[in-house]
Structure 1
């Protein structure tokens, strides 16, 4: 619309005819978000007419008027309409529409105006303080106390645009409450809502806010509420961060009551009570005179390290106390049963429940990266990543904090029991818990329900968790320590080679039975014994001599239960005369489909070759060779043991998959054993300067002694 048409437009807006007003305001809403148009509209007195329409009209005329004002505020113009002595009446009207009007198009416009009003930062020159932020809504909400209840209910609307605007209003109210609390920290803890921000947040949560947002975050219509949901997720992290920053102070009644409730829920015996009438003693840390006698293990019994529990919440803050209180309140029977069970154990084996609860709180806090909530630009990042990454940005499980904490704490108890942990193993169990939560919670998709998460946390196999722990340690250590870690690995591989060689050679020293191909059919006559004498027997036994220089063997007609003695083996091969060992086992080594040898009877053959002229071979000359012994192993494992054992005796590398797998296994265990001796902080930090360097002996002599 051309700016020259504005006078005529204003005339129609002020008309007594509803049809004329409706058409004019319909055109207005499509042009008013043009700053140049809006500037002329405002200077021509348009705000007065627009305000009159909002106050007095209804139906579509009202909907278009609300939409026009909303779009004007979006371009940061028209704020004067709220900076006047009569602005309160306009706010009352908009709040009234939100509470009482059922039409979606009117509700959307009214909600949008309230979002802008609460989110706006007023200029310093404003003539009427309190016309922006939640303070501007407070008088109207006093008239309509059901305002918050109805706003939260509108999150269940079938109109996704209305849901998005409603959630945007709730986000604005929460952010305003937090920011006002920060601004007034020196004077009062009250926010613009007229109450402390934690109480305001709890009020919204009690109305079903979390459940409604969680449902939207897992819905298929997510794209319609993307930015309000991301904003709410960010605000949730901000709130968790603020709760953690609050220091537990027993001078504050609510903190003292929370700690007292934990003690009472533990069903303490009379020995732990302050007096005979069942009332718990006041916490002695308050320093009040006349405090009742304090039991020496009152708080240690619940899993604290000392008898000053408030100080132990320093790291987890009031958030840690909230989580522990919530767990105890919702699981009182299980809490008491666990305490009773732990009381039967020696002190060093008892699971510290309170410390475990705080550890779970901090683990979840780190998992959701709540510490960086203030710097999180979710909207900007959302526009830069692909669809799959966008979906991963939503963390609906964050909204299930209480249930995750309970499930995580129960998982901690299970880990403690299954690992046989003691008090000095506490940090090790916490590390296992971190890996567990990262695998189950961190890898969960947006649509995964919290019920499944709870089951996985409780049923996750300890063996898999241990394997992940060692892999993570290995990767982290290798990344930080680089060349030093590589040299350790190489050293361990050499140790593993020595170990496996000895194992394989011992198999040869023990001796083994081998099969032998049956005589060919055409050579079989009536006299079977004569045929066997001609073509060989069906069994062969081989054994390495004790000095490891000769391979003794002999053929037998039957396989005896008792192993033949070395002097019963009439044939022998001098290992010094062996030129090579060949086998079809190596042909299967590179088969990626299986690391095991898959052979049928007689399909695996080991052929030992020797020099025709051993004397020349001993001198280092290359001579002709011929097969001197053929072995047919009865199993894949036996084939691997004998082939690689012979090769390693000849100072050659093993070639079978089974032996190489054993080598890797032994080397990996060596790495893991060494990693378990490394302090956790050293794993994630680089080596100190000069690590691995051999110190110089310059200036030293041989004049030294041992002080015994």
Structure 2
């Protein structure tokens, strides 16, 4: 990622997202977007350590750039709650440290003035910079699904690729609203909820949103307008759904929903002569066999002697089936009735060709394979299915709480396993 950033790849991809492009390029742009979320998730999960020279130097630069005298409570002066900053920042990991460090580097003079202004205020009136930076990183991770590592978005999110710039602007917005609210330390969660509300508003129509438009929404919209909008949201219950325990619940349920759909999609793959496919228990091979009649295939792979080594698969290619005279460049992606796809090994070698009977089956098969290979979800139906499963799970858990207005427990228990469906599926072989 560091090398890609030096080459300005993110900026180039964001420009492509705002341009005119065909279906194949769109697919690749969404793949990059999905991988960016995965990479951000890994950085968020990477713990900050003073034994790592880069991490230590970044923390030291955050302190020295504040230009304060080193006295007792130095880390508290720049907005940490304790004198052990690495433990507080673990909530957002290395990603949070990067964002905080980038804020300091982007405008060191502004950073110094901000810290000095807060130090000169009464303790209860200070807006803690470090805590604010960490909170904003968490808000952005929640919004863009970085907290789960899997994005369900099937539309472009070019501002996601400017994560550090969005963080910088949002931190400034947090300080602005803090001042206009005349907030105290106890009001920190209220300011965070207000920033979350405005962030959601500012990132509407994100596919066509420019950075300067986002900045204008975050820094120039009047406090009263933001507050009135938030009150309307609270009436609809968004205050409940934005609580930290509920956010954690949603993350866990999303992961379980994704795994459930992943299992369901990959088990729904079978292909007349009658051909039956089944994924091996270790998920490294796709076993199959041809039958003259439709028969019951027992559990396991003993009756399926033929197999495809999935480590040889380089892509799941959609479009007309590959033959000895076809090449991927001749595939058409514009026909809505084209429900064929192939497991490719290299640019012009097909390991297996499939023809689905309808679009639902096509989505199940292709998404099941893409999820198996950790590639981007291809259909809006599957993305919406995961989203719906997650939201239903959250609402079911909250159903008996919202009406009584009781406190949300800090630890919400989630079932260890979701139901697993059967795997005895048969489909016609179009090539018999």
The TM-score by the shorter chain falls in which range?
0.5 to 0.7
- Is 2:14 aligned against 1:238? no
The match for 2:185 among 423, 445, 454 is: 423
TM-superposed deviation, 1:221: 2.4
1:260 to 60, 69, 89: 60
For each residue in 1:665-685, what CA deviation from the matched residue of structure 2 results, as whole angstroms up to 9, or x when unmatched?
xxxxxxxxxxxxxxxx9xx94
| 1:439 paired to 2:201 | yes
Q: 1:209 to 1:691 in 2, by over 3 A?
A: closer
- Residues 270-304 of structure 1, C-alpha deviations (whole Å, 9 max, x = no match): xx0xxxxxxxxxxxxxxxxxxxxxx3210000000
> Does structure 1 retain, via aligned residues, the 8 Å contact 2:119–2:126?
yes
Name 1:471's counterpart in structure 2: 232
The alpha-carbon deviation at position 402 of structure 1 amounts to 1.2
Q: What is the match of residue 338 of structure 2?
A: none
Aligned to 2:221: 460
User: Whose radius of gyration is greater, 1 or 2?
Assistant: 1
Of 141, 149, 159, the residue aligned with 1:397 is 159
In structure 2, distance between residues paired with 1:206 and 1:465: 37
CA pair 687-251 structure 1, distance change in 2 beyond 3 A? same
Structure 2 counterpart of 1:604: none
Give the SS at the match of 2:42.
helix
Checking the alignment, whether the CA contact within 8 Å between 1:320 and 1:361 is kept in structure 2 is: yes
The offset of 1:688, in angstroms, is: 5.0
CA contact (8 A) 1:216 1:222 kept: no
| Matches of 1:228 and 1:210, distance apart in 2 | 13
Look up the match of 2:21: 221
Calculate the TM-score normalised by the size of structure 1.
0.34
Count of matched residue positions in the alignment of Structure 1 and Structure 2? 252
1:348 deviates by 0.5
Separation (CA, whole Å) in 2 of partners of 1:479 and 1:260: 38
Looking at structure 2, the residues matched to 473 and 206 of structure 1 have their Cα atoms a distance apart, in angstroms, of: 43
Confirm or deny that 1:363 pairs with 2:125.
no
Root-mean-square deviation (CA), in Å?
2.6
Q: Provide the secondary structure at the position in 2 that maps to 1:312.
A: helix
Q: Deviations over 1:390-425 (max 9, x none)?
A: xxx110010111110110000001000000000011
Equivalent residue for 1:674? none
Please say if residues 349 and 423 of structure 1, whose CA atoms lie closer than 8 Å, have aligned partners that are also in contact. Answer: yes
In structure 1, the residue matched to 2:77 is 301
How far is 1:451 from its partner? Answer: 1.4
2:402 and 2:198 map into 1 onto residues whose CA distance is 34
Deviations 1:476-513 (A, max 9, x none): 18999xxxxxxxxxxxxxxxxxxxxxxxxxxxxxxxxx
How far apart are the structure 2 equivalents of 1:474 and 1:690? 13
Deviations 1:23-45 (A, max 9, x none): xxxxxxxxxxxxxxxxxxxxxxx
| 1:322 aligned residue (86, 92, 98) | 98
In structure 2, relative to structure 1, the CA distance for the partners of 1:453 and 1:296 (3 Å cut) is: same
Gaps of 5+ in 1: 1-200, 273-294, 383-392, 481-680, 693-708
* Cα distance per residue 1:307-366 (max 9 Å; x no partner): 000000121111111000000011100010111211221011011000001111111111
**After superposition, what is the alpha-carbon deviation per residue over 1:493-546, rounded to whole angstroms, capped at 9, x for unaligned?**
xxxxxxxxxxxxxxxxxxxxxxxxxxxxxxxxxxxxxxxxxxxxxxxxxxxxxx
Q: Partner of 1:370: helix, strand, or coil? A: coil
Mapping 1:167-246, distance limit 5 Å:
201-221=1-21, 223-246=23-46
Go from structure 1 to structure 2 and tell me whether the alpha carbon gap of 1:210 and 1:474 turns closer, same or farther (over 3 Å shift): same
> Relative to 1, partners in 2 of residues 1:340 and 1:226: Cα closer, same or farther, differing over 3 Å?
same
CA–CA separation in structure 2 for the residues paired with 1:377 and 1:404:
20
Of structures 1 and 2, the one with the larger relative CO (CA 8 A, separation 6+) is: 2
Equivalent position of 1:451 in the other structure: 212
Q: Matches of residues 495-574 of structure 1 in structure 2 within 5 Å?
A: none
- Partner of 2:102, secondary structure, is helix
Considering fraction of residues, name the structure with more helix: 1
Per-residue Cα deviation, 1:47-67 (whole angstroms, up to 9, x for no partner)? xxxxxxxxxxxxxxxxxxxxx
Q: Which residue does the alignment assign to 2:276?
A: none
- Conserved in 1, the CA contact under 8 Å of 2:199 and 2:218? yes
Secondary structure of the residue aligned to 1:305 is coil
Deviations 1:413-454 (A, max 9, x none): 10000000000110110000100100001x134222111111
Extract unaligned runs of 5+ from structure 2: 242-393, 406-432
Deviation at 1:211, TM superposition (A): 1.4
Per the TM alignment, residue 253 of structure 1 is displaced from its structure 2 partner at its CA by 1.1
Q: Name the CA shift for 1:208/1:470 in 2 (closer, same or farther; >3 Å).
A: same
Compute the TM-score of the two structures, normalised by the length of structure 2: 0.55
Deviations 1:356-381, CA, capped at 9 Å, x for gaps = 0111111111111123334x566xxx
Distance 1:461 1:219 in 2: 32
Give me the whole-angstrom Cα distance separating, in 2, the residues matched to 1:319 and 1:479. 27
> 1:395–1:446: 8 Å Cα contact kept in structure 2?
yes
Rounded to whole Å, the distance in 1 between the matches of 2:130 and 2:227 is: 25
Q: Please tell me whether the aligned partners of residues 62 and 104 of structure 2 are also in contact (alpha carbons under 8 angstroms).
A: yes
1:346 equivalent in structure 2: 122
Q: Aligned to 1:371, what secondary structure does the other structure show?
A: coil
1:303–1:351: 8 Å Cα contact kept in structure 2?
A: yes
Q: 1:356 to 1:689 in 2, by over 3 A?
A: closer
Structure 1 residues 342 and 222, CA gap change in structure 2 (3 angstroms): farther
CA separation in 1, counterparts of 2:73 and 2:206? 44
Asked if the contact 1:296/1:307 (under 8 Å) is kept, the reply is no
- The 8 Å contact of residues 240 and 402 in structure 2, kept in 1 or not, is answered as no
Q: Report how far residue 691 of structure 1 moved.
A: 5.2
2:103–2:168 Cα contact (<8 Å) kept: yes
Q: 1:265 to 1:691 in 2, by over 3 A?
A: closer
